[in-house]
Amino acid sequence: MSDLLSAPRFHNEETARQHLESIRWPTGAICPHCGGTERNVALNGKAHRTGLYFCGDCREQFTVTVGTVFERSKIPIHKWILATHLMCASKKGIASKQIERMLEVTYKTAWFMSHRIREAMKPTGGGLLGSGGNPVEADETYIGNKPGVAKRAGYAHKEAIFSLVEREGSVRSFHVTDVKAETLKAKLLANVDTKARLMTDKGGQYRKTKNFFPKHEQVDHGAGEYVRGSVHTNTIEGFFSIFKRGIYGTYQHVSSQHLGRYTTEFDFRYNNRAALGVDDTQRSDAALKGISGKRLTYRRIGA
């Protein structure tokens, strides 16, 4: 990792800009204002800043960060690229305080950068999980405490995360208000093919899903049953293990308001994991591709 972090794109602004342009515009500059590709010209005059382009179609000027989560940021591009790589290469995440130290920025800046990068990690599309009858595991987990709710027995006072994972495939996680049958059914129907082999535990909230998922198989954790042939929820439990180690070990505290952004971050790394042939650099480049067409202007400090 130390040798990789000495790469010019993490320290040299011109190299960083060219790297980002190669990812966003592999076949040449694209105007973010009108989508034009044929009449874009780099402005190289003494009065022009490096990386400025002019579109001959709409006659607007633009740079590679216009129309992205990096737009209007005064932070150098090479620091954005380094921060993105650090978040993508850290299996359990990297704290904003660590980014603050490594990039030599303020904590406020590091925190906001982290959330912008999480915004870039948001998936666009992806279709239904379990298409073709592949197994999909569904389960929920709990972390932290809901604001303003007194602690009590059980999990009603905790924040709930519901996740779906396709075996040898992708995971999708959701911060949900509760784990009632109707809440989970809506997530299942929106994200899982009804022909998939759905696998869950014996939780009562899954009783009604057999009406929609004929291939619904369950393991009875209460009776000490965790694996029955190919039927289990061990894949999603493994994902939850990584997620919780990151939340409690790296981030330590995550507010309810932003919890969904953190699930996006862990989903992204899992869906671009080494087991699928994706290395740290490819994962980072995938996140940089996701910066387009997204904005995040929230400025309040929080976890």
* 219, 201 contact by CB (below 8 A): yes
Which of helix, strand or coil describes residue 163?
Answer: strand
Looking at the whole model, is its pTM more than 0.95? no
Q: Which amino acid is at 27?
A: T
Predicted local confidence at residue 124, as pLDDT:
84
Q: Which helix (H) or strand (E) holds 14?
A: helix 13-24
Distance CA 176, CA 183 (A): 8
Positions in the chain whose pLDDT score sits under 70? 1-2, 297-303
Beta strands in 207-301 (DSSP E): 216-219, 227-228, 231-232
Are the C-beta atoms of residues 102 and 87 closer than 8 Å to each other?
no
Helix (H) or strand (E) run with residue 83 in it:
helix 77-89
φ and ψ at residue 300, rounded to 5 degrees: -75, 140
> Sign of torsion, CA 264 266 269 270?
negative
Q: Which domains does the chain have, with CATH numbers?
A: 4-124 (no CATH), 135-264 (3.30.420.10)
3 state SS of 256:
helix
Res 153: pLDDT: 80
**pLDDT at site 154:** 79
Q: By C-alpha distance, which of 142, 167, 171, 136 is closest to 157?
A: 142
Distance of CA 286 to the CA centre of its chain: 11
pLDDT of 184 reads: 95
DSSP 8-state class, residue 200: E
Within 10 angstroms of residue 75's Cβ, the number of other Cβ atoms is: 17
